Amino acid sequence: MYDLLETIDSPQQLRELERKQLPALAGELRAFLIESVSQTGGHLSSNLGVVELTIALHYVFNTPEDRLVWDVGHQTYPHKILTGRRAAMHTLRKPEGIAGFPRRCESEYDTFGTGHSSTSISAALGMAVAAQQAGLERRAVAIIGDGAMTAGMAFEALNNAGAMDANLLVILNDNDMSISPNVGALNNYLAKLLSGKLYERMWRSGEKVLRVVPPVLEFAKRAEEHVKGMMSPSTLFEEFGFNYIGPIDGHDLDTLVSTLHNIRQLKGPQFLHVVTQKGHGYQPAEDNPGKYHGVGKFDPSNGDAVAATGKKTYTQVFGEWLVDMAAMDERLIGITPAMSDGSGLNDFAEKYPQRFFDVGIAEQHAVTFAAGMACDGLKPVVAIYSTFLQRAYDQLIHDIALQNLSVVFAIDRAGLVGADGPTHAGSFDLTYLRCVPNMVVMAPSDENECRQMLYTAYQHDGPSAVRYPRGSGTGVATQTEMQALAIGRGHIRRQGSGVAILAFGSMLHPALEAAEKLNATVADMRFVKPLDMALIRELASTHALIVTIEENTVAGGAGAGVMEALQAMNMTVNTLCLGLPDAFIEHGVHETMLARCGLNADGIIDAVEKKLT
C-alpha cells in the first residue's frame, strides 16, 4: 500500500527518487497520515495541507544541514514521517511516544522547538546569521501560516530580516484563500521566472548600468513593482526588504520543486507565498477543516469521531455562560486571540456577531484592546488559554491591572493538558497572576462553581480571572440561576482532624478521596487571590498539618500564598505544599501525568503519611 513511502526513512532517500515519483509519494503520505491520525488523534487538517510542501522542501534543501523551522509546529507530521519517525507515528502524543510538535531533543531535523505561533522567522533569522558568522552556505527556511502572520512578532522579525543580507527564506503557507484562477498556470510560471537566475542577473546588470542615471533607475524599479504588483500581493513584503515570489499552488509539486530550487540559489532575504488547502485530499477535512484541526480517534472511512464521554466540558460551561450573560447585559464583549472554537465562543459569535472580536494570533493586542473598551464602559471578557496569556503578561500588568480596569479573563487549559504536552500546559498562571496587584483570581472545583465564578468575576469592579482545566469535570449540573460568590471566601467540604487539606480548583476531588483514608479536613479554597485569611487561621489553629494542593507549579503558586499568609499572621504550623514540580511535564494521558506528579488520591495519601512520620 505504501510502496514508495516504506522505502524512505530519511530525506537523503527521498532525494534519490526521480522527480516524477513525487506525486505518487504525496498520495501515499496523505493516506498514511489519515490512517495514522485516525488511531492516535491529533492535528489533521493542517498536516494534510502541507504534504506536497514538506516533500518539496526536503527534496530541494539539504536537510538537516539546511534548517527548516516550522511555525507553531502542528503541521509537522509529514515532516516527522519523512525524517525517520514513520514507524513511531502510532506513539504520537502518547506517553513515552513522539511529540505532536517539533522538539530538538527528538530529532536533528527538528531544528527549533515550537508550539506557540509566530516564532519561526525570528528563529530562522538567528540561524541564518549564525551561518553567516561561520562563513557557511547553509540555508535557513521559516514556514509560517497566514494565521501566525497576524502576530506582531512575525512582523518584527520581517522588519529586522529585511534590513540584513542573511540567506533567509520565509515561506508563507496561505491556507485561508482558495486556489483560485490567479494561482494557476500563469502565476506559477511567473513565480518560476521571478525566482530564476536569469531574472536576477538581468536585474543586477540593469541596476549597475542604470545607477549612473538615477531617474531611469527609479523608473525601472517602479515599473517592476507595478508589474509584480498586478500579478501578486508583493508590495508589503518587498517594502520589508524581501524579494517576493508567488503566490503559487502549494499542491503542485513540479512548481514547488522548481521554484524552491531556484530560490535556493538566491542570496539575501526571500519570501515565497504558497497557497494550500487545509484538509487537502480528505473530503471530510476539506468540507470542515476546523472540525478536523485537532481530532480524537475517528473512522477514516467516513471521518466519524469515536464517541465522547458525554460530560459537559469546562469550555462548554464558559460558552453557555457567555451567551446567557450577554443576554442580560448588552455591554458584554467577547474577545479571543484566534481561539473561537477552542475557547467555546462559537455560539456567542453566531448570536452576537457585533459583540464578538477574534483579533487573530495577537494576544498582546487582545488584552490592550479589552483595556480600551473597559475604559469607555464596556465589559470585555477575554477568552484565552493559560499558556497563551503568558504572551501578554506586560499588557496584563501595565494596561489592565495598573489601571484597575474591569476585564474578565476566562482562562482555559489551566494545569496539565495531556497529549499537547509542555508547550500548551497551563502550569504557571496561578504563579504569574497571584503576584499582580488588583487581580482577583479564582479556581473552580466543578462545572457549577465555574459558572458562578464567571458571574462573580463579571460583577467585580476590577480585573479578575477564572482559570479552569481542559476537558470535562465530574459531571456536576450547572444551575441556570447565577449568584455572585463572596470574594475571598472558601468553605469546608469535609470535616476531619489532624490534617487540613486546602484544595485549589481541580484538586478538590482527589483531596476529598484521599481525606477519607486520612480522616482529613478538606477546604475548597475557591480564591487564590485574595485568600480566605480567616479560614486559613482557623484551620492552622485546629490542625497539626496544613496541606495545600494545586494543579500549578509549586513555585510561587497558591500554596506559596498560604505560606505567606501564615507568616503574616505569625502562625507556626507544620506545612506541605503539593503541586506541579519544577520541571516541564512530558505529554501523556492527563490522569497518568497527575499521578506521576503525586496529584491523585494515592499520591496525596503517600505524601501526607511521609510528612507525618
- Asked whether residue 9 carries a pLDDT value surpassing 60, the answer given is yes
Tell which residue, 411, 549, 434, has the closest CA to residue 493: 549
pLDDT at 147: 87
Query: What percentage of the chain carries pLDDT values higher than 90?
Result: 81
Answer whether the bond into residue 64 is a cis peptide, omega within 30°: yes
Can you tell me the distance from the alpha carbon of 296 to that of 308, in angstroms, rounded to the nearest whole number?
9
Answer whether the bond into residue 530 is a cis peptide, omega within 30°: yes
Q: Which three cell numbers stand for residue 494?
A: 469535609
239 is catalytic: no
Q: Which contacts of 561-564 are long-range, i.e. CB under 8 A and separated by 24 or more positions?
A: 561/434, 561/528, 561/529, 561/531, 562/502, 562/531, 562/536
* C-alpha distance across the termini of the chain, in Å: 61
Average pLDDT of the chain to the nearest whole number: 91
pLDDT at 225: 54
The answer to pTM > 0.75 is: yes
Can you tell me the distance from the alpha carbon of 258 to that of 263, in angstroms, rounded to the nearest whole number?
9
pLDDT per position as a tens digit, 15-47: 999 999 999 999 999 999 999 999 999 999 999
Catalytic residue chosen out of the listed positions 363, 447, 449, 551: 363
391 is catalytic: yes
pLDDT per position as a tens digit, 482-516: 999 999 999 999 999 999 999 999 999 999 999 99
Catalytic residue chosen out of the listed positions 30, 278, 467, 470: 278
Calculate ∠ Cα 28-108-248, nearest 5°.
50
pLDDT per position as a tens digit, 402-411: 999 999 999 9
pLDDT per position as a tens digit, 56-74: 999 999 999 999 999 999 9
Q: Who has greater pLDDT, 447 or 473?
A: 447
Catalytic residue chosen out of the listed positions 86, 355, 391, 526: 391
Mean pLDDT of 546-558: 98
Per-residue confidence at 474, pLDDT binned at 50, 70, 90?
A: confident
Sequence-distant (≥ 6) Cβ neighbours of residue 117 within 8 angstroms? 71, 72, 145, 147, 148, 151, 361
pLDDT at 307: 61
Q: Who has greater pLDDT, 409 or 239?
A: 409
Mean pLDDT of 213-233: 52
Per-residue confidence at 202, pLDDT binned at 50, 70, 90?
A: very low
278 is catalytic: yes
pLDDT at 15: 97
Mean pLDDT of 201-214: 53
Per-residue confidence at 220, pLDDT binned at 50, 70, 90?
A: low
- Asked whether residue 518 carries a pLDDT value surpassing 70, the answer given is yes
